[in-house]
């Protein structure tokens, strides 16, 4: 009989990865995703909003700019500090709290809307995380998500890393959150699930520039390169370069790579 999957051990490794580097360097480029998600969820002034796995606060800021009462959470405190700096610069009143997406410290039906942009999808226990999002959302409220798809650049990047550093057997792919059928399994009691395919354009000077930035600041990529000896690291770099060149639509003048994601609005009946 196979041993039960150790979600706690995977989570500990993930937390260490996201705490390394400085995700905010990457995260700030994704702000438009939070703005679009806030509009998709039709947020209203004074709505109570929870941002889960908020990172440096893209959805947090988008909701606060719309007059919402926002609580921003992540299990990496340093990321919340970056979000707090951004909120302070804009004079936005936001509550920041360290919290695990799989064990949210809030009462049932506490929020009008629960958001997550490229955050909760990385929680190792998908069903538990989804249940927590649903639990803290009030009846009639909305759960808004932005999730990379398996076919996205980011999905391809993690698949490439996985070929060099295989994940633990049985580890669920974060990109499953970018598959509508999986979302329907995660939210069986939803009143409705609205899914819109969107694309975010990563813009860098070149594939080498992209890899340099992600290797320096994006924790999972930094950890992957750090775990591989010299030639193995160079093989990973070559494979990531090939992935970026394959999807580059800038025709040699720079690097512009679209990455597909699902914009999801789950209505709680």
User: What integer best gives the mean pLDDT of the chain?
Assistant: 96
| Span 250-261, pLDDT tens digits | 987 899 999 999
Asked if 113 and 144 touch (Cβ cutoff 8 Å), the reply is yes
pTM: 0.95
Q: Please report, to the nearest 10 degrees, the dihedral formed by the alpha carbons of residues 65, 66, 69, 72 taken in order.
A: -50
CA distances from 57 to 7, 51, 181, 217 (A): 25, 8, 28, 16
Q: What span, in angstroms and rounded, lies between the C-alpha atoms of 116 and 269?
A: 20
Q: Looking at residues 45-73, what average pLDDT do you find? A: 98
Q: Work out the angle at residue 140's Cα, subtended by the Cα atoms of residues 51 and 129, and round it to the nearest 5 degrees.
A: 40
Q: Which residues contact 89 (CB under 8 A, 6 or more apart)?
A: none
List the single range of 89-98, 100-109, 164-173, 194-203 with lowest mean pLDDT: 164-173
Instruction: Please state the CATH superfamily assignment of the domain spanning residues 7-149+168-200+260-267 in this structure.
Output: Vaccinia Virus protein VP39 (3.40.50.150)
Q: What span, in angstroms and rounded, lies between the C-alpha atoms of 24 and 68?
A: 22
Q: Looking at residues 43-66, what average pLDDT do you find? A: 98
Q: What is the pLDDT of residue 2?
A: 53
Q: What span, in angstroms and rounded, lies between the C-alpha atoms of 59 and 32?
A: 9
């Amino acid at each position: 009989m196979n041993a039960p999957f150790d979600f706690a051990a995977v989570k500990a490794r993930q937390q260490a990865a996201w705490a390394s580097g400085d995700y905010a360097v990457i995260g700030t480029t994704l702000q438009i995703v939070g703005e679009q998600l806030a509009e998709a969820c039709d947020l209203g002034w004074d709505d109570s909003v929870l941002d889960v796995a908020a990172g440096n606060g893209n959805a947090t800021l988008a909701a606060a700019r719309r007059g919402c009462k926002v609580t921003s959470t992540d299990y990496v405190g340093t990321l919340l500090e970056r979000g707090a700096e951004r909120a302070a610069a804009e004079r936005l009143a936001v509550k920041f709290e360290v919290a695990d997406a799989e064990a949210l410290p809030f009462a049932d039906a506490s929020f009008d809307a629960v958001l997550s942009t490229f955050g909760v999808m990385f929680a190792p226990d998908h069903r538990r995380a989804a249940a927590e999002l649903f639990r803290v959302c009030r009846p009639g409220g909305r759960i808004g998500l932005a999730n990379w798809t398996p076919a996205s650049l980011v999905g391809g990047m993690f698949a490439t890393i996985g070929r060099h550093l295989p994940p633990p057997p049985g580890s669920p792919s974060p990109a499953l959150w970018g598959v509508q059928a999986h979302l329907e399994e995660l939210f069986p009691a939803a009143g409705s699930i609205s899914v819109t395919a969107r694309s975010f354009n990563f813009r860098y000077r070149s594939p080498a520039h992209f890899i340099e930035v992600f290797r320096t600041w994006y924790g999972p990529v930094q950890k992957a390169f750090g775990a591989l000896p010299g030639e193995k690291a160079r093989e990973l770099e070559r494979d990531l370069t090939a992935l970026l060149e394959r999807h580059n639509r800038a025709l040699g003048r720079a690097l512009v790579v679209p990455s597909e994601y699902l914009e999801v609005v789950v209505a709680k009946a």
